[in-house]
Amino acid sequence: MFLNAWSLALTLTSIAAIVLGAIACRTAIRVLRHWDPASDSERQIRLEGEIWLSSTLVAYGLGFQIVSVVLFVLAADEFCKVIVGAMCATGALLANSYGMPALLVKLAGVFFYGFWIVLHQLDIRSESYPLVRTKYFYLLAIYPLMVADFSLQTLYIAGLKPDIITSCCAVVFAAATGGGPNLLTIGSEGLQLILYYTTMALLAGLGGMLLWRRSPWLQTFYAAGWVWFFGLALVVITMVISSYIYAMPYHHCPFCILKPEYHFIGFGIYGALILGAFLGISAAAVEPCRKGAGLEQVVATYQQRAVQLSLGLLLLFALLTSYHYILYMAAGGEV
Amino acid sequence: MLIELENVTKVYNQGRSNEVQALTEVSLAIAPQTMVCLKGPSGSGKSTLLSIIGCIFAPTSGRATIAGKPLARLPDRFLTVHRRATIGFIFQRFNILPALSVAENIVLPLLPLGVSPKARRERAGALMDQLAIRHREHFPAGQISGGELQRVAIARALINDPPIILADEPTAHLDSRLSREFMQIMADLKAAGKTIVITSHDPLVTEHAAIDRVIGVKDGRIDVP
């Protein structure tokens, strides 16, 4: 199903990112072999010029890839209109065995690609390119992920056939007792909500402590907390929160909340969650960069702002995900 | 030393059919508060040398250290800040914007720094008084004489109070009276603590009493007589 606007946009975006990445990988190999900031040689000076262009291209390429997650979900939501049995992106993504893996790789990519952009932004804030080797080594490490991302997406689009019969979200995410092939269950609704709000409160507490007193250990706990919370939140949104948003007890779906009939609330929820988790995790991940020449203060400032922003996003996420639940409880039923 | 070049080579269009080797293994050092003239025939590489000192170009190989930093090799955001604070340029054709007034041309380098309009007016006013062009303050720069235009260029180069002034063939389009006036202004700036590098083959410049050293440039190398 390549010949439609969504597939073409996704494919062209990914090809652009892959090509830009490949060009930069060539530079990366040269950087790893020859980079020597103390040298005045022609090769070193040429490399210094080259990394500017290549880093800018990579930053844009990875930026495209990050945006392509949204594009991918919107595309899947569009594909469901022509796939038998699919009512939303869930059905479209399950229409073949590449849909969900492609989405998961893309989601992981947001974090890995985003971290390269953070490294690049830190690097260009020092006069002496202290992170050049690190960021180009890291680029070589994440390039296979970009290729996997592109390959899974292409296989998914190529394997989509309008006559495939798939399941709708109501079946896929139905409660285990309902007989459907449930994908996500980690306990009762009450247990899930207790875990969810307790983790949120712990994260807020850890973040507050970090703002008050910086410590690498606290930073690591905060990042680990976000990793746990990210996974937990996805499950709780799907299994509990979403049905309050839909005001339908048996409708559990992580994608329908992106639809206009629910005021696109899903974009706010996922945006806050993904960005908050990224900032919370990256604040700890950049800790080793403090050792780079001229980066101590730059990294400290980034960490401080990342924690502040992640706390703000956690609050926004809490408000967005709790609004319908609280309203339902306060009103004593459907509103 | 305020300006140090070590084995600087500059090649334009490297690897192409129109490759030009403008400088070859040039090394020189210039002390603070001196006035140096780079002398050589047209095409000898003196303007390229001046552009490398001014961090407009990075060398193809070698090291150019300006005020203790290899400025031209700094990342762009740092290069711009350091160059703006360290170096004032006077171009051969002055590069003045004719549609702007004299005062507006002079304060141009202050605009990216966010200096307040009042401070900009004060600094430009002091320079216009010093260079005797106050009476042209609101004139469009396109309507003033060549000598006045050059003073505007000097004022613009000085507005950030940089320690280094670079002038590329500044007297090439001036008569001898204006050339002498220009050199007197440069002598006064040197006395005020500036380091000045001028490219020229005009005897009025090369033989001026305020010039501490004349460096010959020939075929992209320092010409040792």
A302 — phi, psi (to 5°)?
-60, -45
Minimal Cβ distance to A40: which of B62, B74, B78: B62
Which chain B residues are Cβ-neighbours of A295 within 8 angstroms? none
Q: Which of the two residues, B225 and B159, has the higher pLDDT score?
A: B159
Q: A124, B77: Cβ pair inside 8 Å? A: yes
Q: In the prediction, which pLDDT does B75 show?
A: 84
Which whole-number Å values give the CA distances from A114 to A118, A149, A232, A261, B208, in the listed order? 6, 15, 21, 31, 60
Would an 8 Å CB–CB cutoff place A38 in contact with chain B?
no
Residues B23 and B65: beta-carbon distance below 8 Å = no
pTM (2 d.p.):
0.84
Interface of B with A (CB under 8 A): 6-7, 9, 58-63, 69, 73-78
Q: A48, B73: Cβ pair inside 8 Å? A: yes
Q: In the prediction, which pLDDT does A179 show?
A: 46
The percentage of chain B sitting over the pLDDT mark of 90, rounded to a whole number, equals: 70
Burial string for A291-309 (b: 16+ CB within 10 Å, else e) reads ebeebeebbeebbeebbeb
pLDDT in tens, B112-146: 888 999 999 999 999 999 899 999 999 999 999 98
Q: B75, A45: Cβ pair inside 8 Å? A: no
Quote ipTM for the complex. 0.77
Nearest CA in chain B to A52: B75
Q: A40, B60: Cβ pair inside 8 Å? A: no
Q: A45, B73: Cβ pair inside 8 Å? A: yes
Q: In the prediction, which pLDDT does A186 show?
A: 65
Cα–Cα distance, A116 to A114 (Å, whole number): 5
pLDDT in tens, B66-113: 988 888 788 888 888 889 889 999 988 889 999 999 999 999 999 988
Which chain A residues are Cβ-neighbours of B78 within 8 angstroms? 127
Interface with chain A: mutation pick from B8, B78, B79, highest number of A CBs within 10 Å:
B78
Which chain B residues are Cβ-neighbours of A41 within 8 angstroms? 61
* pLDDT tens, chain A, 335 aa long: 777 888 899 999 999 999 999 999 999 999 999 999 889 899 998 999 899 899 999 999 999 999 999 999 888 888 877 777 667 778 788 888 898 999 999 999 999 999 999 999 999 999 888 999 999 999 999 999 999 999 999 999 998 887 776 766 666 666 544 444 455 566 788 888 999 999 999 999 999 999 998 888 999 999 999 999 999 999 999 888 998 998 887 778 888 888 888 999 999 999 999 999 999 999 999 999 999 888 999 999 999 999 999 999 999 999 999 998 888 888 765 54
To the nearest 10 degrees (0 to 180), the angle between helices A265-285 and A296-331 is 150
| CATH homologous superfamily for the domain B3-223 | P-loop containing nucleotide triphosphate hydrolases (3.40.50.300)
